[in-house]
Amino acid sequence: MLSSGDDLPESDSLISEIYRMRDYRPIWMENQIISDQARLFLRFIQDSEQDGLIPDDYHLSEIQKLISATDLPQTASNESHIQNLVDLDVLLTDALFRYSFHMSQGRVDPETVDALWLSLKPFENISDMIGNALHTRTLEDTLYRLKPTHSGYYRLREALRHYRNIYKNGGWPAIPAGDSIRPTDISDRIPAIRARLAITGDLHLSNQHASRTYDADMVQAVRRFQHRHGIDPDGVIGQNTLREMNITVNERIRQIEINLERWRWLSHDFGQKHILVNIADYSLTAVTGSDPVLSMRVVVGQAYRKTPVFSERLRYIVINPDWNIPEKIAIEDKLPIIKKNPEYLIRQNIHIYSGWDENAPEINPYTIDWSRINAEYFPYRLKQRPGAKNALGRIKFMFPNRFAVYLHDTPQRNLFNRTSRGFSSGCIRIEKPVDLAAYVLAGNPDWTADKIIKTIDSGKTMSISIPDIIMVHLLYWTAWVDTEGTVNFREDIYDRDRPLWEAIETARSLPVVMPGKISLNDRLLIKTGG
C-alpha cells in the first residue's frame, strides 16, 4: 500500500516522472534481484525511528513482506513473482521520496500550523537531488546530507533513545499530591521521589534508599531537576516541581519527537556568527563558529502577543533610540492610561504628533479632548524620546522583518529575575545589551565596549550598520540537550506543541491508495519481466 502523498507534493506524478525518465526500468532491481542499494535504503527506513519518525510511514512492513516473498524460492507463478517485484520497486521509490522530504523539510509545513512561524530553511529541489543520487548511485551520501547537521539535533536524538529505554523499563512512579516539602522535612513521599529522580539521572543511584528524610544529596538532585525543567532551583518540592515530575515518560518522548521535527525545519547553516533566541526558555545565546560566547536572559511576548519564529540578518543597531509606539500598543496599552492622566505623557517623555509622516507637527497633549479619543478615532502618533525611561532602553538591534520585531534593552530590569518572562508585546528584551553590542561590533575596532558606553552616556542617538553577516534566529524549543549532555524541558508557553502533534497525526491518518494509481505498473512489468 502506498501513502496518499498528501505531505509530498504531487507524489504520484513525481514517481511517474522518475520512472518515465528511466524508460520505466526498475530502480531497485537488477535482473529481478533486489539490489544492494535497495537493502541500504531499507536500513535508513528502519533507522528512521531513531529520528522520531515512524518506519511504517515509509511502508516498512509492506516492503519487508515483499522482500521476504521475493527472496524465497519461487513457488508461485512467474507473473505473481514479477508483480511482487513491481510493487516492491514502486513502494521503495515512494518511500524514498517521502523519507527524503520528511527528513530534509519535516513532516508538516510549520506555516500551516502557526501563522507566526516562518519556514527557516532555504528551498532545496529534493526531487532533483534524489533523481541524481539514483542515477549516480550516491544515494547513501545524499540521504546523509539531507539530515540536519547540527550537533543539537543528534544530542536530542540520543535523548529520545534514552527516554524510550526508560519507557521500556516501566517509566517512573507518580508522586502523590501534598504539601510542599522543604530540606530536612520528613515525608512518606520521599522514597517515591528518590526513585523518580534516580530514573532520570538527577539522583545518583547510590543515594537511592528508603529514608523518608529530605536530605542534602536529594536537595541537590531536586535542584538539578528544577534547573533542567526551567523551575526556580530553590530545592523546595512544590506544586510546579511535582507537576513536572508527574509528566509521564510517554509525554516526554512526544515532546522530544516534536522538537526533533522542529530541527528538520531549520537551515543546516546558522552562520559563522549568529544569535539564537529560544523563546520557550527565555534565553539568548551568541555563537561564534560552534562555540557559545555570550548568554543572557530575555523577556519575550505575552501569550496574546506571541514572539514569532523566523531568521533574519542583523543589519544595524541604534544607540539611544527613540520609540515610535505602534498604533496597536498606543491604543490598547497607552490610551487608557493617558485618558486617566495626560501627565503620564510628560513623565514618560512621550510626544504626540498629528500623523505618521516624519514632518507631522507636534501637538500639545493638553489641547486634546481625550474623552473623544478611542480605538476607532486615534489620529495621532506617539513617540517616546531617548532616555532612561524609554521602553527600548539604550540600544536596539534591528533585523528588519514583516513582524516589526527586534531585540532591545529595557528599563524594567527587575523582570529578568522572574522565572517566567513573557511580558513584552512581541519584541525581545535583552539582559546584557552592551555585551551584545560589543559582540556584534567586534569586527569594528572603532567600537569598543568603552566607546559604546560613552555614546550611551552622551544621550546622542546614533545608528551603526553591521557589515558582518550575523544571523538572528528566533526559535522555539521545549526540549533540547545542552552541550554538557543535560536534557532540558520547558513549558509550552504558547501552546505550540499540541497543534504540531495534531498536524503530524492528521497527516499520518489520511487514506492510502494502491500502487496501481500511479499508472505505470503495466510498463514497469514489462521492463521487470524482460
Would you call 521 helix, strand, or coil by DSSP?
helix
Q: Which three cell numbers stand for residue 510?
A: 489520511
The predicted pLDDT at position 527 comes to: 63
Give the closest residue to 91 by CA, choosing from 505, 513, 377, 465.
513
| DSSP-assigned letters across all residues of 45-85 | HHHGGGGT--GGGGTHHHHHHHHHHHHS---S-HHHHHHHH
For the CA atoms of 260, 261, 264, 269, the dihedral, rounded to the nearest 10 degrees, stands at: -50
Rounded to whole angstroms, the Cα distance separating 369 from 453 reads 41
CB atoms near residue 222 (< 10 Å): 25
The CATH 2.40.440.10 portion of the chain extends over 269-481
* Long-range contacts formed by 412-415: CB under 8 A, 24+ apart: 412/299, 415/299
Helix (H), strand (E), coil (C) string for 447-464: CCHHHHHHHHHHCCCEEE
Rounded to whole angstroms, the Cα distance separating 8 from 127 reads 10
Q: Residues 98, 109: contact at Cβ < 8 Å?
A: no
Q: Residues 348, 389: contact at Cβ < 8 Å?
A: yes
Residue 388, CA distances (Å) to 320, 341, 343, 347, 459 in order: 9, 21, 17, 11, 10
CB atoms near residue 125 (< 10 Å): 9
The predicted pLDDT at position 510 comes to: 56
In the chain, count of helices (H) and strands (E)? 19, 21
Q: Is 214 exposed, middle or buried (0-12, 13-18, 19+ CB in 10 A)?
A: buried
Amino acid at 157: R
Distance of CA 447 to the CA centre of its chain: 33
The predicted pLDDT at position 378 comes to: 93
Would you call 304 helix, strand, or coil by DSSP?
coil
Give the closest residue to 389 by CA, choosing from 332, 356, 351, 336.
351
Amino acid at 440: V
The label of the residue with cell 522514597 reads: 191
Q: Given CATH 3.30.930.10, say whether it is the number of domain 172-247.
A: no
Amino acid at 289: G
Q: Residues 529, 19: contact at Cβ < 8 Å?
A: no
Q: Residues 230, 176: contact at Cβ < 8 Å?
A: no
Rounded to whole angstroms, the Cα distance separating 129 from 114 reads 29
What is the per-residue burial (b if ≥16 Cβ within 10 Å, else e) of 233-257?
Answer: bebbbeebbbebbeeebeebbbbbb
Superfamily of domain covering 269-481: L,D-transpeptidase catalytic domain-like (2.40.440.10)
Please state the φ and ψ torsions of residue 285, each to the nearest 5 degrees. Answer: -130, 130
Please state the φ and ψ torsions of residue 27, each to the nearest 5 degrees. Answer: -95, -35
Would you call 487 helix, strand, or coil by DSSP?
strand
Rounded to whole angstroms, the Cα distance separating 514 from 527 reads 20
Would you call 247 helix, strand, or coil by DSSP?
coil
The CATH 1.10.101.10 portion of the chain extends over 172-247
The predicted pLDDT at position 196 comes to: 96
* Whole-structure pTM value: 0.91
pLDDT along the chain (530 residues), means of 10: 39 76 86 89 97 96 90 65 88 93 93 90 84 89 95 98 98 95 96 95 82 95 98 97 98 98 95 97 96 97 96 98 94 94 93 91 92 92 94 97 97 96 97 97 90 95 96 98 97 97 84 44 58
- Strands 2-3 and 395-398, bridge-based pairing: unpaired
The predicted pLDDT at position 205 comes to: 78
The predicted pLDDT at position 508 comes to: 79
DSSP 515: G
Q: Residues 26, 527: contact at Cβ < 8 Å?
A: yes
Q: Which three cell numbers stand for residue 283?
A: 534565553
Residue 368, CA distances (Å) to 311, 373, 484 in order: 42, 9, 59
Would you call 479 helix, strand, or coil by DSSP?
strand
Residues annotated as catalytic are 408, 427
Q: Is 294 exposed, middle or buried (0-12, 13-18, 19+ CB in 10 A)?
A: middle
The predicted pLDDT at position 526 comes to: 54
